[in-house]
Amino acid sequence: MIIPKGVERVLGKAKGKGLFADLYFEETESTYIVLEGDQLEKVVSGIDCGVGLRSIYGDFHTAYAYTNEISTKALEDLAAVIGQIVGEGPDAINLGEELQIPFLEIKEPPFEAGLEQKISLVQRANEVARGVSPEIVQVKVVYQDVYKKITILNSEGEWISGERLYTLLAVQVVAKRGEVIQTGYEPLGGAIGLEIFAKTPPEEIAEKAARRALLMLSARKAPGGTMPVVLSSEAGGTMIHEAVGHGLEADLATEGFSVYANKCGQKVASSLITVIDDPTLMYQRGFYQFDDEGVRPTKTVLIENGVLKDFLYDRLTAMKQGRASNGHGRRESYRHRPIPRMSNTYIAPGPHSPEEIIRSVEKGLLVKKMGGGQVDTISGNFVFEVTEGYLIEKGLLGEPVRGATISGNGPQILQMIDMVGNDLGFAIGTCGKNGQGVPVSDGQPTLRIPEIVVGGAVD
C-alpha cells in the first residue's frame, strides 16, 4: 500500500496537545455471493480503500475522522478538523522503520480465483442440500471472502503493515413436514483460502445442514424443567462468548457494565475452568498478527482455574488503567474506531472424556448445537436456543428433541460446571458490538452443568 507524503505532519497535528494519535490505512478486496431459491440473489465484488485518523486527548476522550480518499490533502483536511478539537501541538513526529508482517501461507488465495469458481461453490452446496430430501423446501447459501491490506502509523513513531484474509461458506436449510418447520445451519471458514474446500467440500457442509433440519422434523418436543445439561464440544463456544466473553472486554468491565467489574483476582468460576482469548491461533477465523491499533497480540488468559486474571484491552482502555494493551483493539473497517473485542475465545480442555461425562447423567439434555439468544452483560443472565439436542437417559443418548432453550446466569453457570472434557471444538461467527462486526471463533470442550433451566416447546 502506498502511503501519502506528509503523514508525520498529519500525526503531529492530530496528536496536538493530546496523548496519542494514529492513522489506520485499509484496502479491502471482497466478494459476497448469496444463492437462494435456486437463484443467485447477490454477486458483489469490489475494492474499498480508506483511512481513519484518531486522537486521544484530555481525560481520555477520542476524536475520530475518516475518508475514502487516500491523498496528502485528504489527510491534512482530517488533521485540521481533529486539530481544532485537541489543540495545536508539534508540527511533525518522527517515524521509525516500517515493520512488515508476512501473512500465513495461503495455498489458494481467493483474490486470485475467478468469480465463476466461487459461484460454483454455492451452486454445488445448493444442489446437494436440495437433493437430500423432498422435505427440503428452502436453501440459502452464502459465500464471502475478504482480503485486507492494512498499514498503521502512530504518534509514538510505530509503523506496521500486513494482511488479513477471511473465507466463509454458510448453508441454511429449511425442512417442512406437514405443519412442522425446522431449520439446519452449518458454516465453514477461517483465516484461510479456498484450500479449505479441498478438505471439507461444500457438499459436506450442505448435507450436514440438511440432515440437521430433517432430524429436527422427527424430533420430539423437548421437556421443560431444571435438569443436568451436557454442552457438546460441537456446540462451539456460544455460551462462553456471549454470556462470559463480552463481560471480559475492558471497556464494559471498567465502566461498570459487566458482572466481572472489579473482580480481578477473585474466584468467578469452577476450578476446572480456564478461559483464554488467543488471536494467534493460526487459520482460525479470529486470527490476526497485529490488532487494528498496530499492537502485537498475546494469548490472554482471562480466567485461570476459576480465578479472574485479566480483561481484553485496547490502547484507550489500557491507557486509562496505566497499563499496556494486550492486542485486542479491533474495528470493522477504517470507518470505525477500535474498541476492545474478542478474537478466538475458548474454555481450555479438562480431564474428562466426553463419553464419561454423558455416562454420568441419569436424566438430562445433550446440547449438540446452539443457536441465537439474548445476554445481559451487566447481570450475566442469558437465554439460548438449542438447535440440535438429545435426551440423556441412564447415561445413554436418547431421542432427538426440538424447541428447547437453556437459560441461566453466566457467572453462576461457570461456578457450577463440574466436568470438563478433554476435547475441544470451535465454531465461527461474526461478533457484533457498537454497530461493528468482526470475525471471531469461539470454542469449548464438552461440559457438564449439573443443574440449569431448560425451556421446552409449547404445545
pLDDT digits (tens, 9 = 90+) for 372-381: 888 888 888 9
Same-domain status, 51 and 167: yes
Per-residue pLDDT, averaged over 184-190, amounts to 97
Same-domain status, 49 and 130: yes
Residue 243 inside a domain? The answer is yes
Q: Residue 82 sits in a domain of what CATH number?
A: 3.30.2290.10
Supply angle C-alpha 262, 265, 269, rounded to 5: 95
Residue 342 inside a domain? The answer is yes
pLDDT of residue 88: 78
Name the grid cell of 255.
Answer: 465502566
Same-domain status, 260 and 387: yes
Per-residue pLDDT, averaged over 191-201, amounts to 98
Q: What is the domain range of residue 358?
A: 221-455
pLDDT of residue 310: 98
Q: Give exposure, 14-42, as e/b (b: 16+ Cβ within 10 Å).
A: bbbebbbbbbbbbbbbbbbbbbbeeeeee
Q: Which of 191, 218, 245 is the last residue of a domain?
A: 218
Per-residue pLDDT, averaged over 230-245, amounts to 89
Q: What does the pLDDT look like over 42-85, one tens digit per residue?
A: 999 999 999 999 999 999 999 999 999 999 999 999 999 999 99
Same-domain status, 364 and 396: yes
Amino acid at residue number 79: A
Cβ neighbourhood burial of 387 (10 Å; 0-12, 13-18, 19+): buried
Answer for the pair 332, 323: CB distance below 8 angstroms, yes or no. Answer: no
Same-domain status, 157 and 298: no
Answer for the pair 410, 239: CB distance below 8 angstroms, yes or no. Answer: yes
Name the grid cell of 351.
Answer: 480431564
Cβ neighbourhood burial of 422 (10 Å; 0-12, 13-18, 19+): middle
Q: Which of 190, 218, 246 is the last residue of a domain?
A: 218
Same-domain status, 178 and 231: no
Same-domain status, 300 and 441: yes
d(Cα 100, Cα 21) in Å, to the nearest integer? 20
Same-domain status, 239 and 91: no
Per-residue pLDDT, averaged over 198-214, amounts to 98
Say yes or no to pLDDT of 137 above 80: yes
Same-domain status, 238 and 201: no
Same-domain status, 208 and 195: yes
How would you write 146-169 as a 3-class SS string?
EEEEEEEEECCCCEEEEEEEEEEE
Q: Decide: helix, strand or coil at residue 246.
A: helix
Q: Which of 164, 189, 218 is the last residue of a domain?
A: 218
Q: State how many domains the chain has.
A: 2
Same-domain status, 191 and 271: no
Q: Decide: helix, strand or coil at residue 219.
A: coil
Say yes or no to pLDDT of 459 above 70: no
Q: What does the pLDDT look like over 300-336, one tens digit per residue?
A: 999 999 999 999 999 999 999 999 999 999 999 999 9
Same-domain status, 420 and 271: yes
Positive or negative: CA dihedral 103, 291, 9, 54: positive
Residue 2 inside a domain? The answer is no
Answer for the pair 82, 53: CB distance below 8 angstroms, yes or no. Answer: yes
Say yes or no to pLDDT of 458 above 80: no
Residue 1 inside a domain? The answer is no
Residue 397 inside a domain? The answer is yes
pTM reported for the whole predicted model? 0.95
Give the mean pLDDT of the chain.
96
Per-residue pLDDT band for 364 (boundaries 50, 70, 90) equals very high
